[in-house]
Amino acid sequence: MACVNEAPGMSANVIVCGGMNEIEAVEAEIDAQPASGGLVRVKTSDRPWIYGLMIAPSAVLANGVVQGGALGYLLSRQGVGSGGQAHMIFLLALPTSLYFLWSPITDFFVRRRTWVLLGGLGAAVLMAAGFHQRNLSGRGAMSLMLISACCVQLVVSSCGGMMGAMRSERAKQVAGSAYQAGSMGFGALAASVLVWMSSRTSQDILGLMAAGMIGIPALFALAAPKQETIVTHGLGETMQRVWTECKATFFRKEAIPYIALLTFPMASGSAVGLLTGVAIQYRVSGDNVAWINGLLGGLLVAAGSAATAMVGKQMRVPVKYMVVSLINCAAMAVLWLGPLRPWTYLIGVLLYLFTVGTCYAMATAVFLEFMGASGKSGSGRYSVINSLGNVPVLYMALVDGWGGDHWGGRGLAAAECVVGALGAVVLLAYFLTRGRRIGQAEADARV
């Protein structure tokens, strides 16, 4: 790490480390003071809680409007059938998996918190314009909402890059908890508010409400601590640095177990959207399904995410992730092995949703540990990692659906439980044995 005097006339003991960039400086107030041996003492002032607020624009649009049921409900009121709704929601959900194609832009030109503002406010304006169209299923409305969904993913990548810049591993874990809690909580609240207001106001006003819930939280980016930018000289130097950082993250032997953590079947949460379809087999009424899997369920996922902030540092992040994944599988075992009664559904689903929240938060902590320092390309690398993390959500939905088609609700729960547990056990065994030795070797190397 190269260190130079900050300005002429500055004491030789008071120095600024040239290697300290957004990797270390975002979420940190850097106070360089002379210490023994001429070293620099750096005081950090992390604000990990703020990510639970800054992610709100994406939460409202993706988890509230699109995938939270609000848009589907509005489309049904306009006479669009289930098949048409599914195709439109699938289209608008695509940016959450493909945003790594354009999100690296958030590493360049302006600060990442500025990209949060631009992405959130731009998405809000486009969403209001989409709702202003008379027919929500029309080409104009769908085009505007699709561009809005693409814009809001800039918020996700920017938050990922900023979280990766925090120096404290504990702060990263708390930030991941707040990030997922905000994502689930704001999404559930937005969906409930929009559905409830849909019969009480016009579509234009509803669009303005959606835009407000997307755009206003983006202003929390102004409360993010000042970021230091990385200055590079020319395109060639910039690309060389980006390639070096990508190679250090992805093209190394230690990346293989982390890629397995991202793509193995445990803790996918794929059953969340399928459990409502098997509720009738447990003799649960539609009204009970509405509150168990609706607002209460969303808030319970948020609570599970927030709860991981209280987990200590006694275990490595991958180990903690596998432990909560196995607990999540145990919650599904209630639905698999319990009697087909309403109380089985109630207990099993509530436990499953809470533990899904803990899994999501721990997965974010794994993402950040895998990514390492943000550097010049943190947002882009986070986007790639996050997209990889969405892979099991897609294929486990098919696995769970196959189990449900063959053996009903119990088959769905068994597929989620057994397949997920197998993946978690394999990786837990690895990180408790060989993974521990590799982690200790890396720690020794850093010292």
Model confidence, pTM:
0.80
Output the tens digit of pLDDT for each of the chain's 447 residues.
Answer: 334 333 333 333 333 343 333 333 333 333 333 333 333 333 446 688 899 999 999 999 998 898 877 888 888 888 888 678 878 888 898 898 889 999 999 998 889 999 999 999 999 999 999 999 989 999 999 999 999 999 999 999 999 999 988 878 888 888 999 999 999 899 888 988 888 888 888 999 999 999 999 999 999 999 887 766 666 667 888 888 899 999 999 999 989 999 999 999 999 988 887 887 888 899 988 778 878 877 788 889 999 999 988 877 778 899 999 999 999 999 999 999 999 999 999 999 999 999 999 999 999 999 999 998 888 899 999 999 998 998 898 889 889 989 888 898 999 999 999 999 999 999 999 999 875 555 555 545 444
* CATH topology identical between 47-226 and 249-447: yes
- pLDDT at res. 24: 36
- pLDDT at res. 424: 96
Among candidates 47, 150, 44, which has minimal Cα distance to 97?
A: 150
Spell out the domain ranges in the chain.
3-41, 47-226, 249-447
Report the topology of domain 249-447. Answer: Growth Hormone; Chain: A; (1.20.1250)
- pLDDT at res. 179: 94
Which single residue is written with the structure tokens 């119990």?
410
**Rounded-to-integer distance, Cα 258 and Cα 360, Å:** 15
Q: Quick one: DSSP state of residue 375?
A: T
Report the topology of domain 47-226. Answer: Growth Hormone; Chain: A; (1.20.1250)
**Rounded-to-integer distance, Cα 61 and Cα 153, Å:** 10
- pLDDT at res. 19: 37
- pLDDT at res. 131: 95
- pLDDT at res. 212: 96
User: Using CA atoms in the order 57, 62, 64, 70, what is the torsion angle rounded to 10 degrees?
Assistant: 130
**Rounded-to-integer distance, Cα 199 and Cα 206, Å:** 10
**Rounded-to-integer distance, Cα 342 and Cα 404, Å:** 18
Among candidates 329, 353, 333, 384, which has minimal Cα distance to 104?
A: 384
Decide if 69 contacts 192 (C-beta within 8 A). no
**Which residues neighbour 88 within 8 Å (Cβ) at sequence distance 6 or greater?**
71, 75, 80, 137, 142
**Rounded-to-integer distance, Cα 331 and Cα 345, Å:** 11
